[in-house]
Structure 1
Amino acid sequence: MNDVAMLDHITALTATLAAADKQSAEKLAPAFSPFAFMETDELGLSRLIGWLINPSGSHAQGASFLDAFVRHLGIPWQPVDCAAAQITLEAPTPRLTEFRRIDVLVESHGRAIAIENKPTAADQARQVQDYFTHLDQHYPLGGYLIYLSRNGTGPSPFSIPPEEAERRTQSRQLLVLGYVGLLPWLETCRSLCLASRINSFISDFETYIRRRFNGERTVTTHDQLVTDFVTSPTRLASALNVIAAADALRLRLIGRLQDDIRTEAAGRGWTLLPEIRSTIQWSGFSILFGGNDELKFRVEFGDERRSSCCFGVWGMGPGHKEYAPVGNLLTSAFGRGREHHVSPWHRNPRPQEAPLPIEDNWFNSDAPWRAIADGTMAPKIIAAAQSFHDVLAPQGYVGRRLP
């Protein structure tokens, strides 16, 4: 079997498996997930984790989830510490030179666990270092910082000096964890949980993590495709050749998308800014509405696999006097977004949700790539840019440098 024939075979087999899934979908609803209707940005995920580890949470399981959490991470808290714990979201750090908020703060008996949640966002300058300053000042019996990132990457040198990060890591004060690293803890939570409704929700959370952060698709489909490949050496060889071409295929499609966006933008008098990056993470597409503009509309990938992307406006930090007004203006127009040191407003896209109805995960879904191939992706990005232009322009944020 040659490689082209292999692709035809995969297409036919996938269609057959999809038809079989469709027959059982009415009873099983395999595509349903409550996370499709939830805010799954940094704040939403922090709220969910904080709820799980809260001894007073509506899950009604007391401190059992928090106790399992500290044991999973090797934090030497006793059950009595877990039972007395208080959970605060977006906890303020008022005594620091630069005011910050800790995503999730767990306090008990003079001890604390701070969770810095980074599913997509980049570090801010001295952010992790400042959190340790706060923990050292306020919790003499011990403060721990869990740096929860998309795939287990630690804080940047921009956020904490490497030698300090190493010292904190060696002392077990800094614990770096990827989202997939939460799965054993969640499995333990399910084994401890006595409420079937909560058990089912935790299971959905596990599935969400596997799909978003580990790139897993439908297990049944994957297993059956793999079984089909390994039954024939020629099919296996062709399948491996197809897999080897995947990165080149995606790169070719990204180039096509860039050309399509450039053409569409030029038709409106806009400019697609050139971008030279050695990595996929933080790469993307930036559209400048006018030659003197400070703000630009941007679609950006959050990791090397393109399993997360976000969109919004870039080019302005918290020190700019227009930072908050721009963020508030876009929140009024498009709903709540996130902010960081170069963006007053951005968020992840969702299918069927304005202003950019596309998939967030380009690694786990073939929909974005099919949209590039059939020419429908660039018009969606341009339409989103137009909606931002129409909000920003009347307020004077387009066509001039901001004071």
Structure 2
Amino acid sequence: MSTVQSLINDVSQKINALETAQALYSRQLSPDFSTFEYISTDELGLSRILAALLDPKGSHAQQESFLRLFVEHCLPVIYQDYNWQIFFNNLEKTEVFLEEVTGKSNTQRRMDIYLRCQVGDESYGICIENKPYAADQSNQLIDYYHELKERGHSSRHIVYLNEYNGTPDEKSVDARVLEKWKKDKEYSHLRFSDLIGWLKACQVECQNHSVSEFIAQLTKFIQKQFMGIEDMNEDNAILDIIKQNAATIDASIKVSNTVDRMKKELIAKLKVDLLAKYKKTDYELDISYIGEGRRYEQIRFIIPGYNKAWVCFEFDNAGFDRPILGIKFTSVEAAKACPHTETMNTMLTDKKVSSSAQWPAYYYFDPQDWKGSSEAWLMINEGTMADKILEEMDKVFRLLSEKGCFSD
């Protein structure tokens, strides 16, 4: 038997053993239970959670310890900057605000999380822009920076928090301005995955069991939602097998090198299945924008006679990962010009609907994790994924069409 086949057999046996154990002890382990299934995890909900943890006067009662650890782990630029040492030594004086209106600059935006600290004549301001799902808006970060400046903060810092983009969109802040902020140590980019180290440090220092368990649940949510990690126990078990010796490491690399090819071949099968099962009615199926695994690849329902938007199934991440489904406009301007966009996100009542500049209404398609889970790929291989995509896209189309959204 080849080393590759042996590796696959060992991994398969280990996973089967874990699944058996989980089935036998599910009542004790509750492996699928998560507090965050019952908590709002949209942009505002996540901002509220992070702001509560960062607040030295928060109900967690751990005083400024969480904020101190956040600066240490997530904002090394501030932590190592002499100009911020007074702030760091007086963290207990920090005030934390949620959805703070940018009134001083007269831009009337809302800073997701705003931290303010006054120590004598020294004033410190931090704006955390939380972008878990939505797109950047025009001049957004520029306006936040000006707001911090107008509020008289001698030391100010913009934090851009997301997972999938390395930098904000240039419409939010010009690349040259952003480089100046970085040079002046006034900007940090954070990924949600970067928060894991901070949260684990908070757990170690936390002296309350309930708060510690909440942080553990938040960590688990971030790992699943933004990192594609479904089960750390399973990951650790597989890693142990892979690292056994040189042969298993070599075999795992060979397996890894074929995964992208396998996914592309299954996507090609999905396209064939979609064409075979699609029944043309009031729209046309377009599968020409999917196949290579680039970010934003999509499947479209084109509406004849309506060229401003289409019903769209799109991968929000590269490598065929995190698909979303909804209505997408050809441009931000086209979306703004449509009289129905303000009400579109209230139509899909059975889904957790979000909206952004070009997407007045969309939701994350289930299964959502196409990177760390085999569920979606097994469905494609069995031929059931095409049925699910066509059914849901048709439902969205019918609902929007009935509301007159495709009429000028």
2:172 aligned residue (159, 183, 194): 159
8 Å contact from structure 2 (residues 290, 298) kept in 1: no
What is the TM-score of this pair, normalised by structure 2? 0.84
CA gap 1:118/1:255 in 2 versus in 1, 3 angstroms: farther
Match of 2:392 in 1: 384
Q: 1:138 & 1:49 partners in 2: Cα distance?
A: 23
1:326 aligned onto 2:341: yes
One-letter identity of the residue aligned with 2:37: A
Return the offset for 1:245. 0.6
Return the offset for 1:248. 0.8
Map of 1:2-151 to 2, 5 A cutoff?
A: 2=2, 3=4, 7-8=8-9, 10-72=11-73, 73-74=75-76, 75=78, 76=84, 77-78=87-88, 80-89=90-99, 91-94=100-103, 100-109=109-118, 110-150=123-163
Match of 1:281 in 2: 295
One-letter identity of the residue aligned with 1:317: V
8 Å contact from structure 2 (residues 116, 125) kept in 1: yes
1:371 aligned onto 2:374: no
8 Å contact from structure 2 (residues 345, 355) kept in 1: no
8 Å contact from structure 1 (residues 282, 300) kept in 2: yes
Root-mean-square deviation (CA), in Å? 3.0
Return the offset for 1:107. 2.7
One-letter identity of the residue aligned with 1:86: V
Match of 2:233 in 1: 220
Return the offset for 1:153. 1.6
1:345 aligned residue (361, 368, 377): 361
Q: 1:80 & 1:237 partners in 2: Cα distance?
A: 52
Q: Which moved more, 1:101-110 or 1:376-385?
A: 101-110
Return the offset for 1:52. 1.3
8 Å contact from structure 2 (residues 308, 334) kept in 1: no
Return the offset for 1:162. 1.9
Q: 1:219 & 1:14 partners in 2: Cα distance?
A: 12
Q: 2:261 & 2:93 partners in 1: Cα distance?
A: 53
CA gap 1:146/1:224 in 2 versus in 1, 3 angstroms: same
One-letter identity of the residue aligned with 2:56: P
Return the offset for 1:201. 0.9
One-letter identity of the residue aligned with 1:108: C
CA gap 1:339/1:95 in 2 versus in 1, 3 angstroms: farther
SS for the counterpart of 2:182 is helix
Match of 1:312 in 2: 326
SS for the counterpart of 1:338 is coil
8 Å contact from structure 2 (residues 145, 158) kept in 1: yes
CA gap 1:389/1:279 in 2 versus in 1, 3 angstroms: closer
Q: 1:88 & 1:40 partners in 2: Cα distance?
A: 15
For these two proteins, the number of residue pairs brought into alignment is: 391
1:257 aligned onto 2:270: yes
Deviations 1:191-228 (A, max 9, x none): 33222111011012122223333343433333333433
Q: 1:108 & 1:193 partners in 2: Cα distance?
A: 23
Q: 1:263 & 1:123 partners in 2: Cα distance?
A: 38
Point out where structure 1 has 5 or more consecutive residues left out of the alignment: 350-357
Return the offset for 1:320. 4.8
Q: 1:210 & 1:336 partners in 2: Cα distance?
A: 20
1:195 aligned onto 2:208: yes
CA gap 1:56/1:331 in 2 versus in 1, 3 angstroms: farther
Deviations 1:78-119 (A, max 9, x none): 454543403122x33356686533222223334321111223
2:191 aligned residue (172, 178, 199): 178
SS for the counterpart of 2:215 is helix
Return the offset for 1:322. 5.6
CA gap 1:81/1:385 in 2 versus in 1, 3 angstroms: same
CA gap 1:37/1:247 in 2 versus in 1, 3 angstroms: farther
Return the offset for 1:339. 2.4
Q: Which moved more, 1:192-201 or 1:293-302?
A: 293-302
SS for the counterpart of 1:183 is helix
One-letter identity of the residue aligned with 1:304: A
Return the offset for 1:281. 1.9
One-letter identity of the residue aligned with 1:120: Y
8 Å contact from structure 1 (residues 54, 86) kept in 2: yes
